[in-house]
């Protein structure tokens, strides 16, 4: 059945370069390599997506430097009590950063999922189409994103309290860190699930679905997430430091922030492409049919 559908799909779309995911199970290194290959299939697409994320991120960075910097300087010099104003401003910018990050996640997953599934680039999709899709589909993934944020925050507080209470803090810290890395793999997978599967798969249902998909791949999920954490954390630290360094001039700080935002956006893109590959590996591991939808209305089943 799957073979007949493949032939039908190829005959009706002769101009498309079809490239399905590997049939054999991928190792951890294989997943990382497939993610790189997926992005390399269309460097123009990667550039467009990165600019789509970097543009609002850079705007937030510049506005933060313009409005927050004077308040910080006045507080440091003791000229008036501006702590409340600064706090409100920082909350506003945090919310803006939170939303832009969410937008980048959802758009990245939506665009790169078919690129990996069928080797078909979606670079032909216009910005208007992407924005329209996002406006129509953001609610489910955002609910999942809120769940993920809440669980991550609670986990951080609990781990911090446990480390402070227990004397053997080094051992506990290592164990807690390992647990948090595994939890992060489930949470990230839940976001991917929520975007790709859509519908009612959101919030708690997306988390349950991700947990179910991870069965049998727990160790690999941990390994993948550990590598991604080691990759992303230094980049994130550099990005934050560039944003809070008050020793530079306004122009230099804004410039450094935008430059630091480039590897930040590239890392964010890569992380979710990796999680897309891992998602389909988990589905194959459970013998699930992979239904691959394409823009012209055809549907392809890659496994029976």
User: What's the whole-model pTM score?
Assistant: 0.79
- Is 190 inside any structural domain? yes
Element (H, E) at 85: helix 83-118
- Could you tell me if 120 and 294 are in contact, meaning their C-beta atoms sit under 8 angstroms apart? yes
- Is 17 inside any structural domain? no
Cα 145 to Cα 138: distance, rounded to the nearest angstrom: 10
**In 3D, which of 8, 7, 37, 9 has the Cα closest to residue 21?**
37
- The residue that leads in pLDDT, 246 or 95, is 95
When pLDDT is averaged across residues 100-119 and rounded to a whole number, the result is 83
- Could you tell me if 283 and 75 are in contact, meaning their C-beta atoms sit under 8 angstroms apart? no
- Is 81 inside any structural domain? yes
Long-range contacts of 178-181 (CB under 8 A, 24+ apart): 178/222, 180/155, 180/156, 181/222, 181/225, 181/226, 181/229
pLDDT by residue (tens digit) across 190-226?
A: 999 999 988 888 888 999 999 999 988 899 999 999 9
Q: Residue 294 pLDDT > 90, yes or no?
A: no
Question: Beta partners for 293?
Answer: 299
- Is 302 inside any structural domain? no
Q: Residue 303 pLDDT > 50, yes or no?
A: no
- Is 221 inside any structural domain? yes
What phi-psi label fits residue 57: left (phi over 0), alpha (psi between -120 and 50 degrees) or beta?
Answer: alpha
pLDDT for position 211 = 92
- Is 291 inside any structural domain? no
∠ CA 122-127-129, nearest 5°, is: 75
Domain span at residue 92 reads 28-114+139-286
Cα 45 to Cα 24: distance, rounded to the nearest angstrom: 27
- Is 254 inside any structural domain? yes
- Is 165 inside any structural domain? yes
Cα 56 to Cα 54: distance, rounded to the nearest angstrom: 6
pLDDT by residue (tens digit) across 235-289?
A: 888 877 776 666 667 777 777 778 888 888 888 889 999 999 999 989 887 776 5
- Could you tell me if 201 and 194 are in contact, meaning their C-beta atoms sit under 8 angstroms apart? yes
Number of domains in the chain: 1
3-state secondary structure of 90: helix
Cα 112 to Cα 49: distance, rounded to the nearest angstrom: 10
- Could you tell me if 201 and 193 are in contact, meaning their C-beta atoms sit under 8 angstroms apart? yes
CA distances for 228 relative to 72, 221, 231, 273, angstroms: 33, 11, 5, 11
Contacts of 119 (CB under 8 A, 6+ apart): 17, 18, 19, 20, 41
Q: What percentage of the chain reaches a pLDDT higher than 90?
A: 21
Cα 77 to Cα 90: distance, rounded to the nearest angstrom: 19
Contacts of 237 (CB under 8 A, 6+ apart): none
Element (H, E) at 301: strand 299-301
CA distances for 246 relative to 1, 5, 58, 156, angstroms: 63, 60, 17, 28
pLDDT for position 219 = 92
What is the DSSP code (8-state) at residue 80? S
- Could you tell me if 61 and 93 are in contact, meaning their C-beta atoms sit under 8 angstroms apart? no
Q: What percentage of the chain reaches a pLDDT higher than 70?
A: 78
Average pLDDT, the chain: 78
When pLDDT is averaged across residues 60-73 and rounded to a whole number, the result is 80
3-state secondary structure of 243: helix
- Could you tell me if 214 and 185 are in contact, meaning their C-beta atoms sit under 8 angstroms apart? yes
**Class of residue 99 by CB neighbours under 10 A (exposed 0-12, middle 13-18, buried 19+):** middle
């Amino acid at each position: 059945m799957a073979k007949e559908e493949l032939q039908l799909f190829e005959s009706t779309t002769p101009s498309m370069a079809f490239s399905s995911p590997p049939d054999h199970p991928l190792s951890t290194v294989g997943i990382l390599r497939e993610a790189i290959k997926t992005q390399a299939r269309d460097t123009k697409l990667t550039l467009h997506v990165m600019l789509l994320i970097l543009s609002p991120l850079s705007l937030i960075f510049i506005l933060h430097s313009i409005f927050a910097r004077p308040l910080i300087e006045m507080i440091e010099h003791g000229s008036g009590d501006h702590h409340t104003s600064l706090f409100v401003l920082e909350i506003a910018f945090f919310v803006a950063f939170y939303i832009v990050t969410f937008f980048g996640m959802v758009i990245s997953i939506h665009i790169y999922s078919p690129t990996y599934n069928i080797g078909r680039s979606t670079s032909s999709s216009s910005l208007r189409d992407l924005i329209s899709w996002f406006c129509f589909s953001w609610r489910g993934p955002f609910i999942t994103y809120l769940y993920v944020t809440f669980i991550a925050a609670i986990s951080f507080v609990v781990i911090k309290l446990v480390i402070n209470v227990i004397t053997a803090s080094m051992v506990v810290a290592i164990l807690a860190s390992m647990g948090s890395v595994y939890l992060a793999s489930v949470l990230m997978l839940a976001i991917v699930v929520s975007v790709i599967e859509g519908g009612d798969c959101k919030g708690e249902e997306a988390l349950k679905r991700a947990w179910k998909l991870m069965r049998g791949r727990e160790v690999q999920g941990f390994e993948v997430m550990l590598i991604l954490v080691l990759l992303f954390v230094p980049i994130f630290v550099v990005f934050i430091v560039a944003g809070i360094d008050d020793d530079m001039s306004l122009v230099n700080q804004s410039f450094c922030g935008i430059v630091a935002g480039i590897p930040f956006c590239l890392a964010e893109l890569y992380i979710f492409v990796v999680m897309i590959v891992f998602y389909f590996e988990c589905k194959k591991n459970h013998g699930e049919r992979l239904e691959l939808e394409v823009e012209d209305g055809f549907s392809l089943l890659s496994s029976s």
